[in-house]
Amino acid sequence: MRIDGLQYANWSEKVFRQMREGGLDAVHVTIAYHETFRETVLNFERWNRWFELFPDLIMKGQWASDIDRARETGRTAIFFGFQNPSPIEDDIGLVEILHTLGARFMQLSYNNQSLLATGCYESEDPGITRMGRQVIEEMNRVGLVVDMSHSADRSTIEAADISDRPIAITHANPYDWHPALRNKRDDVIRAVTQNGGMLGFSLYPHHLKDKSDCSLQSFCEMIARMADRYGVAHLGIGSDLCQDQPDSVVEWMRVGRWSKEIDYGEGSAANPGFPPQPAWFRDNRDFGNIEQGLRATGMSADEVGAIMGGNWYRFFEANFGPQGRA
């Protein structure tokens, strides 16, 4: 089983076919960065059209059992998530509406301070807000997973403690392996995993040691060390693959509508666009390389299978349904 905990590709038939070539059984895809509720609904609508156009390649995923159905029919199940709480605007009632439409993950912040939590680029982190506590409770109730991939340290630790259900960092790496702003320190990862949560390892070059030149061996040995530290059961892949996106999309991701200036994030003015992927992970067809690399570290077949998809499957199964009926 192969499950990717996060992608934001420029979706096309080519990408969907590469998912099948790479044996992807399920992918969590971003359908909102800064969109309002109405704009997010239009993104759901666009995906409904893709499901209609490519029924032999992809299908809508809402529950873990949909992954079983996708595997049986040779398709990839697509699960939806948001990298920002902007789709709920300032209305807690929209949490349940969006879950009903098919959302299964929502980040509480994307780099900046939100109504719910602090982003990892802010200089001060006051933690989860009053609204954030209420929204976490509502997300727990309906089965919308709390994602803290772009959130600051205190906010993430507090979210893990406040949430009655496990939370996720769907796409990041350990800070002590590569000290990027977006990567996570030990106390943050420990807070998430000790509460039953998941960490998805990112393949976005700015999150990798040596960036685009990161070796497969370095990446897989890092995962093996993290398995020893936090337990294999809490780890998966969240590639953050942004395949075929034009460089203008980076500006949209970083800036949205909140600033008149270009926010380069972990890039630079000299390299404002998407960095090239490592040669061993260019697109969805290369997931087998990660599997082989993990085996080369000495991991057992069961451990490799858990990280490549089994852990995400179990997490989906436990956390996408209403509280008490997972």
Domains of the chain: 3-319 (3.20.20.140)
Structure tokens at 284: 């969805």
**Average pLDDT over every residue of 240-265:** 80
pTM: 0.95
Per-residue pLDDT for 147 more than 80?
A: yes
Query: Taken in order 136, 137, 139, 140, is the CA torsion positive or negative?
Result: positive
Q: Read off the pLDDT of residues 161-214 as tens digits, 9 standing for 90 and up.
A: 999 999 999 999 999 999 999 999 999 999 999 999 999 999 999 999 999 999
What per-residue confidence (pLDDT) applies to 69?
Answer: 98
Pairing of strands 26-32, 235-237: unpaired
Q: Read off the pLDDT of residues 99-144 as tens digits, 9 standing for 90 and up.
A: 999 999 999 999 999 999 999 999 999 999 999 999 999 999 999 9
Per-residue pLDDT for 271 more than 80?
A: no
